[in-house]
Each structure stands twice: as structure tokens, then as C-alpha cells.
Amino acid sequence: MAQRAGCTASLLLGAAVLLAGPAVVRGEVNTEYRDFEIFVDGKPAGESRLVLIQQDDGTTYMKANASVKVQGLFQFTFTIDAQEWWKDGKLLGLKALTMENKKQTSVEVSNDGKQLVVRVNGQARTMGPDSWTTSYWKLADARFHNQKVAILETDTGNQFVGKLQFVAEEQITISGKLEKCYHFRVTEASSPTDLWFDKYHRLVRQEFHESGHHTTVQLSAIRR
């Protein structure tokens, strides 16, 4: 999910190109597909899909991709293929390949138990072990609610510290039905982001402004 003209790696994600990762998907418990529509300044601009696989060892594997294209006076193209591995609320690994206006960026992240090792186009650096990601596909752990949280930009490999603020419980339409969701806001970032999560603490909506443009990522369908 860095926020580029309305395209956070936050789900800017679909049937992803599978890249080699730190774990093989075995012992599958269940699989969920979440399709999203992306709007920039109120106009359709792209779509994404999130695939979530819960394994019997407690690992959650996420693969996703997204494609966005904006034409007119403001022109922008963005695609991303990404994978993440999580367990016990911690990021185990990440792989993402992004193309933004013909500029390609590769990000690979591994967790050695003490820190995250992040490689951006092959250049390595380390970060603390507790990082949320800008895919925002799941709500951060409760210990970060109304607190500061380190956030890893999926498409750039950069890290920033934001504050995750609870806003309210709100009704959001999901697959034609109104459901109670939890509205949070990430502040103290270059572009504040509003996020809505369902009762499973999984993303259903995202809104933010970037470079003067308003972007909405809205869940359109769920399949299990």
C-alpha cells in the first residue's frame, strides 16, 4: 500500500504474481477473496483483489495486486503485486513489485527474530521488528490503538511513525448489507488516511488525499 496519487499499496492489490517467499502455503484452513474498486476524485480509476489464506500453524498469508490508471490533465499509472506473511501479530516476510509511471521498485522484507531486514532494489537496511504495513489489510494490534505505530511502506520499503486513532463505530455497506465497522485514522503521516475494518478486523474501505486528489478504495465483494 506509500500513497501515490491515491494508490496506497493498501490493497492496491488481486490475483498476484507469486514470488518466492519465506513460507509455502500448506495446511490451509480457509481462503478469502476481497475485491475492491478504486476511485480518484470520485471517478473509477482501478481495482484490486486481496487473497487471504489462514494456515493451521497460525500463519496468515496475503497476496494481492492492484492496477490504477488516471487520464486527463492529471495522468498517473500504478500497479503492484505483493505478498505478506504474518503470525502472532508480527510481520514475518514481504515481497512487492511496484510499477509507478514506468518506474519499477522491488521490496523484500524478512524477519530474523530481532529486526526486519528490508531490501529495496537489492540495497539492504534494518528496521525494528514491529511494523504495520501500508497494505492496511488488517487492523494493527490493540496495543497500537490510539498510540504511535511504525508503518512500513509496501511499495517503497520506507518506514514512518504514525498515530493510529480510533474514530467511531460506523455502518458501512458490504455486499449490499449494512454492517458495523470500526473507523480508524492514521495521522502524523505525510497524508492522513482513514480506514474502516469489519468485525474480523479486515479492511473494507480506505480514503486519503494525495497531491490534491481524493482517493477511495471500497470493498465490492467477498468470497470465502
pLDDT at 44 over 90: yes
Would you say 177 and 164 are in contact if contact means Cβ atoms under 8 Å apart?
no
Task: Give 16's pLDDT tier (boundaries 50, 70, 90).
Answer: very low
Section 52-66 average pLDDT: 94
As a whole number of angstroms, the distance between CA 123 and CA 153 comes to: 16
| DSSP string of 100-158, one letter each residue | ETTEEEEEEEEE-SSSEEEEETTEEEEE-S--EETT--BPPPGGGBTEEEEEE-TTT--
Longest dimension (CA), the chain: 50
pLDDT at 152 over 50: yes
pLDDT at 213 over 80: yes
The three-class DSSP label of residue 49 is: strand
Tally of domains within the chain: 1
What was the pLDDT predicted at 67? Answer: 95
> What CA–CA distances, in Å, run from 140 to 21, 27, 66, 82, 119?
22, 25, 22, 19, 23
Domain interval for residue 23: 3-223
pTM of the model: 0.86
What was the pLDDT predicted at 13? Answer: 42
Would you say 98 and 79 are in contact if contact means Cβ atoms under 8 Å apart?
yes
What was the pLDDT predicted at 167? Answer: 98
| Percent above pLDDT 90 for the chain | 76
pLDDT digits (tens, 9 = 90+) for 79-101: 999 999 999 999 999 999 999 99
pLDDT at 2 over 60: no
What was the pLDDT predicted at 188? Answer: 83
